[in-house]
Amino acid sequence: MEEIKVFVADERHIKYVDTILDTIERAAKIRGTGIAKRSPEYVKQKMLERKAIIALDGDKFAGFCYIESWSNKQFVANSGLIVVDTYRGHGLAKRIKRKAFELSRERFPEAKIFGLTTGEAVMKINNELGYRPVAFASLTDDPTFWKGCESCVNFDILQRNNRRMCLCTGMLYDPHEHENKDNQELK
């Protein structure tokens, strides 16, 4: 797995957009979990903005994730994490997620970073990065973010509960909480 490179995507990686979206859709069907669908144009834009992480084994697609800011850059979501099934079980998701986390902190150092997931493995990775589970009320209230959930198979649950809960777990990293912990450890 060390030969797999994980880095910020750019215009050179646009050729992988369809493969990325197909991989995400297949994984969601196999697992029967909800996932917000994104258009090819949206994923392409994330690459052009250098807000996407891609993992390649030579020139073969292995994994992906992207970031997006919300609520006037007060929040950043890490979304669309996917690893091709033949590369799973070797820590690649953790490497991709860590790179997305680092990119989020670099681009939006004051923002709270969040994600929604139904996957235990992603929850574990998020926990290791310093995220904690939170109620949806602690996440962005930007309606554009929540509109992205409309394509999820579980959207009716979210809607019935007035965006307070769903099958996903909301997880949040608040940089200010970690600054306080770091300062306390120095004393």
* pLDDT tens profile 61-99: 999 999 999 999 999 999 889 999 999 999 999 999 999
Mean pLDDT of 118-128: 90
Give the pLDDT band (50/70/90) at residue 1: low
Cβ-based neighbours of 115, under 8 Å, separated by 6 or more: 77, 78, 79, 122, 126, 131, 170, 171
Residue 54, helix vs strand vs coil: strand
pLDDT at 187: 46
Per-residue pLDDT reduced to its tens digit, 6-38: 999 999 999 999 999 999 888 877 766 656 678
Structure tokens at 1: 């797995």
Per-residue pLDDT reduced to its tens digit, 51-67: 999 999 999 999 999 99
pLDDT at 184 over 60: no
Q: How do beta strands 75-83 and 112-117 pair? A: parallel
Per-residue pLDDT reduced to its tens digit, 125-137: 999 999 999 998 8
pLDDT at 34: 59
Kindly list the distances between the CA atom of residue 131 and the CA atoms of 112, 113, 138, in Å, as whole numbers in the listed order.
10, 8, 12
